Amino acid sequence: MKFRSLALAAAMSTIGFGTTVASTAAQAQAKEQFFPVIVYRTGAYAANGGPWANGYVDYLKLVNAKGGINGVKISFEECETAYATDRGVECYERLKGKGATVFQPLSTGITFALTEKAPIDKIPLITAGYGRSESQDGSVFTWNFPLLGTYWVGADVAIQHVAKQLGGLDKLKGKKIALVYHDSPYGKEPIPLLQERAKLHGFELDLLPVAHPGVEQKATWLQVRKNRPDYVLLWGWGVMNSTALKEAQATGFPRDKMIGVWWAGAEPDVKDVGAGAKGYSALTLQHGAEPNSKVAKDVIALVHDKGQGTGPKDEVGQVLYMRGLISAMLGVEGVRKAQEKYGKGKVMTGEQVRWGLENMNLDQKTLDGMGFAGVMRPVQTSCLDHMGSSWVRVHSWDGANWKFASDWYQADDKLLRGMVLNASRKYAEEKKITPRTPEQCKQ
Candidate ranges 213-221, 322-330, 386-394, 395-403; the one touching other proteins (CB under 8 A): 213-221
Near other proteins by CB under 8 A: residue from 166, 191, 415, 441: 191
352 binds other proteins (CB under 8 A): no
Contact predicate 289/257, CB 8 Å: no
Considering the complex, state which of residue 171 and residue 188 has its C-beta at the smaller distance from other proteins.
188
Exposed, middle or buried: residue 204 (CB in 10 Å: 0-12, 13-18, 19+)?
Answer: middle
Please give the residues from 30 up to 59 whose contact with other proteins meets the rule CB under 8 A: 39, 41-44, 46-47, 50, 53
Please give the residues from 328 up to 347 whose contact with other proteins meets the rule CB under 8 A: none
Considering the complex, state which of residue 118 and residue 360 has its C-beta at the smaller distance from other proteins.
118
Considering the complex, state which of residue 206 and residue 368 has its C-beta at the smaller distance from other proteins.
206
Q: How far is the CB of 251 from other proteins (least distance, A)?
A: 6
Considering the complex, state which of residue 213 and residue 378 has its C-beta at the smaller distance from other proteins.
213
210 binds other proteins (CB under 8 A): yes
Near other proteins by CB under 8 A: residue from 11, 71, 93, 254: 93
Candidate ranges 141-149, 206-214, 281-289, 336-344; the one touching other proteins (CB under 8 A): 206-214
Q: Give φ, ψ of 223 to 5 degrees.
A: -65, -35
252 binds other proteins (CB under 8 A): yes
With CA atoms as reference, report the closest residue to 232 among 214, 215, 249.
249
Q: How far is the CB of 159 from other proteins (least distance, A)?
A: 17
Near other proteins by CB under 8 A: residue from 90, 170, 305, 340: 90
212 binds other proteins (CB under 8 A): yes
Considering the complex, state which of residue 251 and residue 410 has its C-beta at the smaller distance from other proteins.
251
251 binds other proteins (CB under 8 A): yes
441 binds other proteins (CB under 8 A): no
Near other proteins by CB under 8 A: residue from 61, 96, 201, 304: 96
Near other proteins by CB under 8 A: residue from 19, 292, 361, 380: 19
Q: How far is the CB of 26 from other proteins (least distance, A)?
A: 11
- Contacts with other proteins, 261-300, as mask; x by CB under 8 A: -------x--xx---x------------------------
Q: How far is the CB of 68 from other proteins (least distance, A)?
A: 21
Exposed, middle or buried: residue 230 (CB in 10 Å: 0-12, 13-18, 19+)?
Answer: middle
Q: How far apart are CA 437 and CA 419, in angstroms?
A: 19
Candidate ranges 19-27, 286-294, 349-357, 380-388; the one touching other proteins (CB under 8 A): 19-27
Contact predicate 38/331, CB 8 Å: no
Q: How far is the CB of 93 from other proteins (least distance, A)?
A: 4
Please give the residues from 380 up to 439 whose contact with other proteins meets the rule CB under 8 A: 423, 430-432
Whether the ω angle into residue 213 lies within 30 degrees of 0, i.e. cis, is: yes
Please give the residues from 224 up to 243 whose contact with other proteins meets the rule CB under 8 A: 225-226, 238-239, 242-243
Q: How far apart are CA 430 and CA 10, in angstroms?
A: 46
**Residue 113: Cβ within 10 Å count:** 16
